[in-house]
């Protein structure tokens, strides 16, 4: 990563909503992902926040983003959906959380039904993302924060936090004191328009430059 930035630029706390196009999400794959897992993706953050594994009809094993088992989820069924726009968003066994907290599921047959992932489960999954070096404790410089407003540059803070926590740490290539580079492999999940409910996985290398004195992200970028 060869970039120019002001090493003493103040760091501030920011919150962001996903700027990704509809149907695109980021994932930091767990070291031991559960078998036959489907992603639980969140439109608000634009990332995979957990996984579901079908255990029986209407019953799923729920795992957090690190692949740790959280709980069993038995979802109550509601009235069938008939809106073609909604039906286009339904996935086979894969939960998708909208900003209103809904999740959609398409059964193995032709009947489409709404499934509400319980608020307790949603809270647990989102809460697990705040463990360790919380994304809420990470600052960003103003210049790096501006990149988050561009769809082609946006990467959820929680994903950047995981790269800082689990990635490879090296000195800043430009040798600026107190700045370190973190690097790890991440994935972008893109809905397969030809096969609803499936995702195309695209691999990228994410690099994050961090001023460790106050955990401020000075610059970040991802590339194939």
Whether pLDDT at 92 is above 90: no
pLDDT bucket at 6, cuts 50 / 70 / 90: confident
157 lies in the same domain as 137: yes
66 lies in the same domain as 51: yes
Token output for 78: 């509601």
Q: In this structure, what DSSP letter does residue 53 have?
A: E
CB burial readout 171-187, b (16+ within 10 A) else e: ebeeebeebbbbebebb
**pLDDT of 106-162, one tens digit each?**
333 333 344 567 888 888 888 888 765 665 689 999 999 999 999 999 999 999 999
As a whole number, the mean pLDDT across the chain is 82
Please give the average per-residue pLDDT across 44-59, as a whole number. Answer: 89
What's phi and psi for 36, nearest 5 deg? 60, 30
Query: 204 lies in which domain range?
Result: 133-223
Whether pLDDT at 71 is above 80: yes
164 lies in the same domain as 68: no
Q: Would you state the torsion angle of the CA atoms of residues 22, 150, 18, 204, taken in this order, to the nearest 10 degrees?
A: 80
How far apart (Å, rounded) are the C-alpha atoms in residues 164 and 166? 6
Whether pLDDT at 101 is above 80: no
Please give the average per-residue pLDDT across 175-201, as a whole number. Answer: 91
pLDDT of amino acid 24: 95
**Picking from 16-20, 99-103, 178-182, which range would have the lowest pLDDT averaged per residue?**
99-103
Whether pLDDT at 187 is above 90: yes
The residue ranking higher by pLDDT, 200 or 106, is: 200
pLDDT of amino acid 119: 80
Q: Up-side HSE of residue 212: CA atoms within 13 Å toward CB?
A: 13
35 lies in the same domain as 67: yes
Give the percent of the chain with pLDDT over 70.
78
Task: Confirm if 75 and 115 have CB atoms less than 8 A apart.
Answer: yes
Which of 128, 161, 190 is at the close of a domain?
Answer: 128
pLDDT of amino acid 136: 63
Please give the average per-residue pLDDT across 90-99, as a whole number. Answer: 58
pLDDT of amino acid 59: 86
156 lies in the same domain as 215: yes
How far apart (Å, rounded) are the C-alpha atoms in residues 125 and 48? 10
120 lies in the same domain as 139: no
> Quick one: which H or E segment has residue 120?
helix 119-128
Which of 85, 101, 128 is at the close of a domain?
Answer: 128
Angstrom distances, CA of residue 191 to CA of 22, 202, 218: 9, 11, 31
63 lies in the same domain as 90: yes
For the chain, the straight-line distance linking the first and the last C-alpha, in angstroms and rounded, comes to 13
Which of 76, 110, 128 is at the close of a domain?
Answer: 128
Number of domains within the chain: 2
Q: Is residue 16 one of the residues assigned to a domain?
A: no
């Amino acid at each position: 990563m060869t970039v120019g930035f002001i090493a003493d630029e103040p760091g501030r706390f920011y919150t962001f909503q996903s700027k990704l196009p509809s149907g695109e999400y980021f994932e930091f794959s767990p070291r031991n992902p559960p078998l036959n897992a489907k992603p639980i993706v969140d439109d608000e953050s634009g990332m995979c926040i957990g996984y579901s594994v079908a255990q029986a009809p209407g019953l799923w094993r729920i795992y957090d983003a690190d692949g740790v088992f959280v709980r069993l989820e038995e979802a109550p069924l509601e009235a069938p959906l008939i809106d073609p726009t909604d039906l286009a968003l339904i996935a086979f066994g894969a939960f998708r959380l909208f900003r209103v907290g809904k999740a959609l599921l398409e059964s193995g047959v032709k009947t489409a039904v709404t499934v509400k992932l319980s608020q307790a489960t949603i809270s647990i999954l989102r809460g697990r993302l705040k463990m360790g070096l919380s994304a809420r404790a990470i600052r960003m410089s103003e210049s790096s924060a501006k990149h988050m407003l561009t769809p082609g540059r946006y990467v959820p803070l929680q994903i950047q936090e995981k790269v800082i926590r689990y990635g490879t740490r090296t000195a800043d290539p430009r040798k600026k004191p107190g700045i370190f580079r973190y690097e790890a492999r991440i994935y972008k999940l893109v809905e397969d328009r030809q096969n609803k409910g499936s995702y195309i996985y695209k691999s990228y290398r994410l690099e994050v430059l961090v001023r460790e004195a106050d955990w401020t992200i000075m610059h970040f970028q991802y590339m194939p």
